[in-house]
């Protein structure tokens, strides 16, 4: 039987099925990104349209001396790092805890869905108004009742950063929890029986059995949470708008404010390009790491 | 052992409270008068009112047009996404596609793009072609996150279907289209339904593209939340009511698809990665 005939047919068929989506992706994502690069080489100030023109690498040169850029870069690293670590540690802790409880697991799974399906902008607004607001926010009531006094959670630069990190962690820890719980539930119980017979303590069982077995799941969670944290926007926008001042202005917020508040699109595009390069480098770095194992 | 049980129980209750609190408190706030919202200490017992819902739905700042905007954008995005993603995912997961690895990698890369990197060029492009504040414009932009996501999620479902079924159909000279239509699609029905729910959910919740590229005609419900916030005063109770109405569809969908959500969230994790 000649094998080329049907195989060539299959390849043609596969191409015909895949090409429309692929072309659409090229047109909707790659073309705009090329345009983003082009924009980052321009001077485009909508407030000063007469200055529009090719600027070469000027925007990037300007970035080097821009203190707001370096601070937003640092904030991005802090925000991404802390939220990811918190989500994994808290999520894993909770999953281990819940594994001990049989009853109520279903209820918890449903509760965990709630933050995840909520629009980040709504999560940001809820936290801003109901939890963190001075005077009538619930947290203010709790700290006052405990005698700790009143805090301006979103008005103080350092507390604002803590707050937006808390909001992100609140919204996405259930994700880490659900994935890790699923992975823990799939572990073979007889392994633990053997370990118990060998008189391994709980910490040893966790360190030498559980952790290595769920490591793939942890890596997946880290990768996915990292990408989400790097593209976080709406919750911070709703809670602080990047403020006070630029205290919670991660690169996303900075690029947005530059482009659409200060109307300096060329410079904003340069910031967005830096973010793009960082995001892709981090994601593919993590993938390479994962594949290397 | 008693103490251990108590600690576990307390931990679980605390989790429940923390995760559900903002939403439950939002629900309570939406039933208060604006004056009761600002009371100190915060009121747990109060005389509930549906006034906020009346205002939010039928008052001067009705969000009904915004719900319509969100529904149109989300439904169109979902329909278009599925139309393109199902064939592509089938080819990627099951067929001898040329450059299959590179193609999968490309789709994955497009899924990682930070939205702020896309919103700037789209702002300029849509302005140039006069598509800002139009449905076609926003749907086009929504495809940038919906399509790669849907392709990867569907690939993971298609891969679960036993190959023998398809081979049997092909041996019967059923033709590739017929095999796809009569064998693969019915088998993947559950996966397709979950993908539809997720794409709809992500489109409904989107904010950055909607606030920059929308306008007075296309103003989605996530953007409309800011109707109730102004420099002079914020109408927290109405905002809470609007949020409850605006989030009701996604909360309902989330509960329906609850069992599949972990899988949807780890889309492509088996192969590579994903975004949301």
Domain ranges (residues) in chain B: 2-57, 63-265
What b/e sequence results for B178-213 when a residue is b if at least 16 CB atoms lie within 10 Å of its CB, and e otherwise? Answer: ebbeebbeebbeebbebbbbbbbbbbbbbbbbbbbb
Closest among B146, B137, B143, B150 to B69, alpha carbons compared = B137
Q: Report CB contact under 8 Å: B23, A126.
A: yes
Instruction: Name the 3-class secondary structure at A220.
Output: helix
Minimum Cα–Cα distance from A230: chain B residue: B114
**Cα distance between residue B62 and residue B59, in whole Å:** 5
pLDDT digits (tens, 9 = 90+) for A232-291: 999 999 999 988 989 999 999 999 999 999 999 999 999 999 999 999 999 888 878 777
Task: Please name the member of A17, A18, A126 whose beta carbon is closest to the beta carbon of B243.
Answer: A126
The residue with tokens 């409850």 is: B244
Share of chain A above pLDDT 70, in %: 97
Query: Which domain does A113 fall in, by range?
Result: 24-292
pLDDT band at B276 (very low <50, low <70, confident <90, very high): very low
Contact residues, chain B, for A280 at CB < 8 Å: 109, 112-113
Alpha helices in B129-207 (DSSP H): 135-158, 163-171, 176-178, 185-187, 189-205
User: What pTM value is reported for the model?
Assistant: 0.91
Neighbours of B13 (CB within 10 A): 11
Is residue A6 assigned to a domain?
no
Is residue A55 assigned to a domain?
yes
Task: Please name the member of B26, B122, B275 whose beta carbon is closest to the beta carbon of A32.
Answer: B122
Give yes or no for a contact between A10 and B92, defined as CB atoms under 8 angstroms apart.
Answer: no
Instruction: Judge whether residue B175 has pLDDT over 80.
Output: no
Distance of CA A239 to the CA centre of its chain: 16
Q: Which residues contact A132 (CB under 8 A, 6 or more apart)?
A: A139, A140, A153, A154, A163, A239
pLDDT digits (tens, 9 = 90+) for B90-111: 999 888 888 888 998 899 889 8
Residue B88 C-alpha, separation from nearest chain A C-alpha, in angstroms: 4
pLDDT band at B266 (very low <50, low <70, confident <90, very high): low
Taking the Cβ of residue B62 and every Cβ of chain A, the question of whether any pair is shorter than 8 Å is answered with no
Closest among B6, B247, B64 to A120, alpha carbons compared = B247
Is residue A75 assigned to a domain?
yes
- Please state the domain count of chain A: 1
Task: Please name the member of B148, B251, B273 whose beta carbon is closest to the beta carbon of A223.
Answer: B273
Instruction: Judge whether residue A149 has pLDDT over 60.
Output: yes
Query: Which pLDDT score, from 0 to 100, does residue A108 have?
Result: 85
**Largest distance between two CA atoms of chain B:** 75
**Cα distance between residue A272 and residue A254, in whole Å:** 9
**Cα distance between residue A174 and residue A114, in whole Å:** 9
pLDDT, mean of residues B127-153: 95
pLDDT, mean of residues A193-214: 83
Query: Which pLDDT score, from 0 to 100, does residue A4 have?
Result: 54
Task: Please name the member of A117, A268, A287 whose beta carbon is closest to the beta carbon of B272.
Answer: A287
Upper half-sphere CA count for residue A250 (Cβ side, 13 Å)? 26
pLDDT band at A196 (very low <50, low <70, confident <90, very high): confident
Q: Report CB contact under 8 Å: B243, A256.
A: no
Instruction: Judge whether residue B51 has pLDDT over 80.
Output: yes
Residue A249 C-alpha, separation from nearest chain B C-alpha, in angstroms: 13
What value does the mean pLDDT of chain B take?
87
What b/e sequence results for A25-43 when a residue is b if at least 16 CB atoms lie within 10 Å of its CB, and e otherwise? Answer: beebbeebbebbbebbbbb
This model of the complex carries an ipTM of: 0.91
Is residue A17 assigned to a domain?
no
Query: Which pLDDT score, from 0 to 100, does residue B233 have?
Result: 79
**Cα distance between residue B209 and residue B113, in whole Å:** 13
Instruction: Name the 3-class secondary structure at A18.
Output: helix
Is residue A7 assigned to a domain?
no
Scan residues 194-223 of B and list those with Cβ closer than 8 Å to A.
Answer: 201, 204-208, 212, 222
Instruction: Name the CATH code of domain B63-265 (choices 3.30.70.1060, 1.10.3720.10, 3.30.420.40, 3.90.1300.10).
Output: 1.10.3720.10
Is residue A10 assigned to a domain?
no
Contact residues, chain A, for B20 at CB < 8 Å: 111, 114
Query: Which pLDDT score, from 0 to 100, does residue A274 have?
Result: 96
CATH code of A113's domain: 1.10.3720.10
Task: Please name the member of B37, B42, B255 whose beta carbon is closest to the beta carbon of A110.
Answer: B255
Poorest-pLDDT segment among A3-7, B31-35, B37-41:
A3-7
**Cα distance between residue A179 and residue A98, in whole Å:** 13
Give, in degrees to the nearest 5, the angle at Cα A172 between B43 and A149. Answer: 40
Which of B89, B112, B240 would you mutate first to test chain A, the one with the most A CBs within 10 A?
Answer: B112
pLDDT, mean of residues B163-171: 73
pLDDT digits (tens, 9 = 90+) for B178-235: 878 888 888 888 889 989 999 999 999 999 999 999 999 999 999 999 989 887 778 8
Closest among A204, A104, A165 to B5, alpha carbons compared = A104
Poorest-pLDDT segment among A24-28, A51-55, B51-55, B166-170:
B166-170
pLDDT digits (tens, 9 = 90+) for A79-124: 999 999 999 999 999 999 888 877 777 888 888 889 999 999 999 9
Instruction: Judge whether residue A164 has pLDDT over 60.
Output: yes
Taking the Cβ of residue B67 and every Cβ of chain A, the question of whether any pair is shorter than 8 Å is answered with no
Is residue A184 assigned to a domain?
yes
Q: Give the range with max mean pLDDT: A11-15, A81-85, A144-148, B54-58.
A: A81-85
pLDDT band at B157 (very low <50, low <70, confident <90, very high): confident
Question: Both tokens of residue B181?
Answer: 């239509």
Instruction: Judge whether residue A189 has pLDDT over 50.
Output: yes
Helix (H) or strand (E) holding B50: none
Residue A293 C-alpha, separation from nearest chain B C-alpha, in angstroms: 14
**Cα distance between residue B112 and residue A280, in whole Å:** 7
Closest among B25, B141, B158 to B87, alpha carbons compared = B158
Query: Which pLDDT score, from 0 to 100, does residue A29 have?
Result: 96
Q: Report CB contact under 8 Å: B124, A15.
A: no
- pLDDT higher for B49 or B275? B49
Contact residues, chain A, for B109 at CB < 8 Å: 280, 284
The residue with tokens 């993938």 is: A287
**Cα distance between residue B203 and residue B222, in whole Å:** 10
pLDDT digits (tens, 9 = 90+) for B10-24: 888 888 888 998 899
Task: Please name the member of B25, B95, B112 whose beta carbon is closest to the beta carbon of A14.
Answer: B95
Is residue A18 assigned to a domain?
no
pLDDT band at A28 (very low <50, low <70, confident <90, very high): very high
What b/e sequence results for A250-263 when a residue is b if at least 16 CB atoms lie within 10 Å of its CB, and e otherwise? Answer: bbbbbbbbbbbeee
Query: Which pLDDT score, from 0 to 100, does residue A1 have?
Result: 41
């Amino acid at each position: 039987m000649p094998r080329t005939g049907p195989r060539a047919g299959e390849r043609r068929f596969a191409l015909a099925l895949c090409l429309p989506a692929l072309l659409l992706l090229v047109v909707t994502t790659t073309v705009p990104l090329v345009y983003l690069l082009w924009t980052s080489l321009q001077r485009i100030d909508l407030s000063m349209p007469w200055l529009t023109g090719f600027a070469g690498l000027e925007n990037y040169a300007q970035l080097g001396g821009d203190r707001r850029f370096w601070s937003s870069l640092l904030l991005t690293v802090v925000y991404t790092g802390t939220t990811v670590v918190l989500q994994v540690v808290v999520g894993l802790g909770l999953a281990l805890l819940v594994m001990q409880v049989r009853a109520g697991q279903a209820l918890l799974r449903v509760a965990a869905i709630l933050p995840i399906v909520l629009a980040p902008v709504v999560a940001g607004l809820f936290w801003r108004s109901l939890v963190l607001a001075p005077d009538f926010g619930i947290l203010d009531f709790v700290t006052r009742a405990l005698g700790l006094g009143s805090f301006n959670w979103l008005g103080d630069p350092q507390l604002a950063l803590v707050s937006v990190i808390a909001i992100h962690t609140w919204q996405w820890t259930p994700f880490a929890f659900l994935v890790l719980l699923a992975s823990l539930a799939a572990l073979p119980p007889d392994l633990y029986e053997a370990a118990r017979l060998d008189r391994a303590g709980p910490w040893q069982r966790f360190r030498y059995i559980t952790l290595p077995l769920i490591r793939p799941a942890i890596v997946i969670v880290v990768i996915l949470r990292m990408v989400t944290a790097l593209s976080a926007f709406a919750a911070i926008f709703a809670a602080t708008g990047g403020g006070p001042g630029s205290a919670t202005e991660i690169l996303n917020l900075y690029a947005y404010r530059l482009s659409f508040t200060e109307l300096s699109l060329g410079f904003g595009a340069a910031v967005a390009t830096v973010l793009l390069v960082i995001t892709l480098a981090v994601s593919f770095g993590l993938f390479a790491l994962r594949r290397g194992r | 052992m008693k103490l251990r049980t108590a600690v576990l129980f307390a931990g679980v209750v605390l989790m429940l409270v923390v995760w559900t609190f903002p939403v439950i408190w939002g629900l309570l706030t939406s039933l208060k008068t604006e004056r009761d919202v600002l009371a100190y200490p915060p009121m747990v017992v109060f005389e509930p009112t549906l006034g906020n819902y009346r205002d939010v739905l039928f008052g001067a700042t009705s969000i009904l047009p915004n719900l319509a905007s969100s529904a149109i954008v989300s439904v169109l995005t979902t329909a278009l996404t599925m139309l393109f993603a199902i064939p592509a995912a089938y080819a990627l997961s099951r067929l001898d596609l040329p450059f299959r690895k590179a193609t999968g990698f490309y789709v994955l890369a497009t899924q990682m793009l930070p939205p702020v990197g896309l919103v700037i060029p789209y702002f300029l492009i849509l302005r140039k072609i006069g598509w800002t504040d139009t449905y076609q414009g926003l749907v086009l932009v929504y495809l940038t996150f919906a399509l790669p996501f849907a392709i990867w999620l569907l690939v993971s479902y298609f891969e679960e279907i036993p190959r023998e079924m398809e081979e049997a159909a092909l041996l019967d000279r059923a033709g590739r289209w017929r095999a796809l239509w009569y064998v693969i699609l019915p088998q993947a029905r559950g996966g397709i339904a979950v993908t539809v729910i997720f794409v709809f959910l992500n489109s409904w919740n989107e904010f950055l593209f909607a606030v920059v590229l929308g306008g007075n005609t296309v103003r989605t419900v996530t953007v409309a939340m800011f109707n109730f916030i102004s420099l002079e005063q914020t109408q927290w109770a109405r905002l809470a009511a609007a949020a409850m109405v605006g989030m009701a569809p996604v909360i309902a969908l989330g509960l329906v698809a609850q069992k599949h959500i972990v899988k949807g969230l780890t889309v492509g994790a088996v192969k590579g990665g994903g975004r949301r």
